Amino acid sequence: MRNFLVLVLTFVFINGISFADEPVKNVVPQPITVNGDIVEYSTENKEVTAKGHVEVIYKGTKLTCDKLTVNTETKDGVAEGNVRLEDAKGIIEGQKVTYNFQTKAGTIINSEFRANPYFGKAKEVDKINDTEFVALNGNMSTCNYDRPHYHFNSKKIDFFPGDKVKIKDNFVYIGRIPVFWLPRYDHSLKDPLMHVQVMPGMKKEWGPYLLTAWRYTLTESVKGRIYLDYRKKLGFASGVGANYTSKLFGRGDYKFYYTREKPEDLPAGALEEFQRYFIRWRHKWEIDSQTNLTSEYYKLSDEKRKKFDSESDFLKDYFYREYEKNTQPLSYILLQHSFAYSSINFLMQKRTNHWYDQLEKLPEVRYSLPSLQIGDTRLYFENNTSLANLDKKATTAPVTPDEENVTRLDTTNKLSLPLKVAFVELVPFVAGRQTLYDKGTDGASGPLRTIFYSGIDASTKFYRVFNVQTNFLGMEIDGLRHIITPTIRYSYNHEPTIKTSKLKQIDATDAIDTNNSAVLELTNKLQTKRLGKTVDFANLKVSSIYTFYNVDPQTQVRSHGHFQDILFDLELIPNSRMRFDADATYSNSGDYFSNANYDLNFNLGKERSFGLGQRYQRTGSNEITYNLNWPLNPKWRFSFYQRYNLGGDPALSKGFREQEYTISRDLHCWVVDISLNIKKNEGTTIWLIFRLKAFPEMEFGFNQSYHSPKSGSQ
């Protein structure tokens, strides 16, 4: 056959029945389509043979080769010559493939494969099913070069495309040089974090250091990290972390970190080493759809704080990021249960670190009933009740437990009547709050405090639609709707029946006093449509609290009404590439802005962005910040961040407070970042980071800080 021939034959397989059998009712046939230069069918053997530019498509799988034989009953096929097997999970290429189109299982000899984001080669690949294949005696990398920059060389690579990869008995190569051996490597493709982290560097407080973390997997439900760190000025430290999940008891994480610190710069006569450790255990259990339990436990032991430096803080010294989030973490167990219209909480909160100034609740039971309509009436009822044994722990001069401990029953009942008068929505309400204490400051038992509340919320909306269509300055305006929402929330509470001076001041509940004020708020909003969706083009909110006159019950002196600070909040999104956010506080008594902040961000496309912001405090600093991210070409990228003090704070000199410059270079499968950071009165830091492009969160970095203190620096 000299002329080019394309012959398409379609064979339908249903439960092992070939195309020659009777059709099956109510079953949609799934065809195998075989395309080739020459296609022949053997009725006796029930086989299709195709040669030259062969292509087969079946159930989302595409196979191309030079020669193919397929059995129409068993769906087994043998492909030879430039074989390529492709589906949504990846691509496998080889010289010869035995494959079953029904089970999607087969064997590929001398193959190359790609299962995003990995590339590899192997002497043999066994495709177990649609979700797993095993490469034997091969190598794997995220680099797609014929000679990859790095790769794993392994006897067995077990792939679960889109899920995970498991490697056994493998060497890690940089170029052609073996670097180290790993008995096992498991990596979740859903988890961007690396399994081995190594961070050498230098820091003023630590000296030269080396921080390492090894991620491990005990079972599918128990994973964690092992830490082994060295700091020249402090010594060795180690720890272990674990994340776990359980179908019966929920999920959680545990972390333990220990060191026998040996500081180099101790004064004569001080201890040579200090035992310091940190335990953190967090757990969450969704018992059922209405009940859940949450707990956190933090325990720190710090001989250095006890015996040498009372200002020392283990979290601050070793885990600064956690310290920034919460300088005094709480230990507690919270059980929550939701009813049809209400909920109840049971809380046990215990101070586990004695240098923390914390409130113990042993226990606190809180019941909450949100606004619930009373029958067919227009009245709504709301209740909040708590019963607690409270113990306020302080780190100052010692006090007796009787001075700090109190048992308190607190309940608030509120009635409201939502209604609409003309175009104004009104919600008048009355409430009563009763608080029973087991003792007061004078030692008397059972003082009962009662507070009467009343008030009204009033709001309405005015809007107008403008038929405006324009793309001026890229603002993408398709109609405008202007919405004005004025709101007034007036509240009054009578003088409590028991003065605050006669109650132990545990928290804000015990400090409630007379109040007669109104919150005034005005919102202006502009809306438009973009891509068929309504978006807020601009939103300005102005609010303040007006306090009415009060009469002091002791002196009978009448105070004048006045406005408190005026708050401004603005959001502006003129187009999809620009956003402006600002907020400010205006002091009505002083007739000035006490603080103002804004952020202006431009998304210029193709990884280009620019940001400008300012932080102003009348009695503090006045700083302006700006940052830029800009690719110079496909291989190089530049970014910088600067923070400049404009003056205003006598304690801070005018000029740059912080500067950071970064150059990034694309190395095909890696990205390398070189950064320089300069902080006023703190020093200069240079770091070098290598990051895998396939997993941006993976990195190997080196950084070193150079500190040259100036006169007066802290």
Q: What is the pLDDT of residue 550?
A: 67
Q: How far apart are CA 394 and CA 359, in angstroms?
A: 8
> Which of 135, 142, 93 has the alpha carbon at shortest distance from 117?
142
Q: Kindly report, residue by residue over 522-540, the tens digit of the pLDDT.
A: 999 999 988 888 888 899 9
Amino acid letter at 131? Answer: T
Q: How far apart are CA 586 and CA 521, in angstroms?
A: 15
> Which of 443, 354, 361 has the alpha carbon at shortest distance from 402?
443
User: Does the N-terminal peptide bond of residue 363 adopt cis geometry, omega within 30 degrees of 0?
Assistant: yes
Q: Which residues of the chain have pLDDT under 70?
A: 1-32, 189-196, 265-271, 395-403, 444, 550-558, 682, 693-714
Q: Write down how long the chain is.
A: 714
How many Cβ atoms from other residues are within 10 Å of residue 119's Cβ? 23
Please say whether the beta carbons of 537 and 477 come within 8 A: yes
> Which of 565, 587, 453, 448 has the alpha carbon at shortest distance from 515?
453
Q: What is the pLDDT of residue 30?
A: 58
How many Cβ atoms from other residues are within 10 Å of residue 467's Cβ? 7
| pTM to 2 decimal places | 0.67
Q: Which residues of 362-372 are buried (b: 16+ CB within 10 A; e: fewer)?
A: ebbbbeebebe
3 state DSSP class of 188 = strand
The first and second tokens of residue 493, run together, are 């509470």
Q: What is the pLDDT of residue 192?
A: 52
Please say whether the beta carbons of 150 and 171 come within 8 A: no
In degrees and rounded to multiples of 5, residue 511 shows phi and psi of -105, 10
> Which of 231, 228, 230 has the alpha carbon at shortest distance from 205?
231
Q: How far apart are CA 578 and CA 603, in angstroms?
A: 6
> Which of 270, 336, 254 has the alpha carbon at shortest distance from 303?
270
How many Cβ atoms from other residues are within 10 Å of residue 97's Cβ? 24
The first and second tokens of residue 277, run together, are 């450790």
Q: How far apart are CA 209 and CA 214, in angstroms?
A: 17
Q: Which residues of 652-689 are buried (b: 16+ CB within 10 A; e: fewer)?
A: beeeebbbbebebeeeebbbebebebbbbebbebbbeb
In 118-257, where does DSSP find H-type helix?
none
Q: How far apart are CA 487 and CA 456, in angstroms?
A: 11
Q: What is the pLDDT of residue 404?
A: 74
Q: What is the pLDDT of residue 14?
A: 29
Q: How far apart are CA 59 and CA 41, in angstroms?
A: 21
Q: How far apart are CA 447 and CA 561, in angstroms?
A: 33
Q: How far apart are CA 178 and CA 147, in angstroms?
A: 14
> Which of 80, 83, 86, 81 has the alpha carbon at shortest distance from 58?
86
Q: What is the pLDDT of residue 704?
A: 45
Sequence-distant (6+) residues with CB within 8 A of 265 are 233
Q: What is the pLDDT of residue 27?
A: 40
Q: How far apart are CA 426 and CA 456, in angstroms?
A: 7
Q: Which residues of 296-311 are buried (b: 16+ CB within 10 A; e: fewer)?
A: bbbebebbbbeeeeee
Please say whether the beta carbons of 432 and 412 come within 8 A: yes
Q: How far apart are CA 57 and CA 84, in angstroms?
A: 12
3 state DSSP class of 99 = strand
Q: How far apart are CA 690 and CA 672, in angstroms?
A: 5
Q: How far apart are CA 294 and CA 269, in angstroms?
A: 46
CATH fold label, 7-165: lipopolysaccharide transport protein A fold (2.60.450)
The first and second tokens of residue 113, run together, are 């494969």
In degrees and rounded to multiples of 5, residue 504 shows phi and psi of -70, 130
Angle at Cα 136 formed by Cα 132 and Cα 142, nearest 5°?
Answer: 70
Sequence-distant (6+) residues with CB within 8 A of 146 are none
In degrees and rounded to multiples of 5, residue 543 shows phi and psi of -145, 155
Q: How far apart are CA 213 and CA 115, in angstroms?
A: 27
Please say whether the beta carbons of 356 and 372 come within 8 A: no
3 state DSSP class of 314 = helix
> Which of 591, 676, 609, 664 has the alpha carbon at shortest distance from 633?
664
Q: Which helix (H) or strand (E) holds 401?
A: helix 401-404
Q: How far apart are CA 331 and CA 297, in angstroms?
A: 4
**Residue at token pair 């006093």:** 513
DSSP 445-513: B--EEEEEEEEEEEE--EEEEEEEEE-GGG--EEEEEEEEEEEEEEEEEPPPSS-GGGS---SGGGG--
3 state DSSP class of 322 = helix
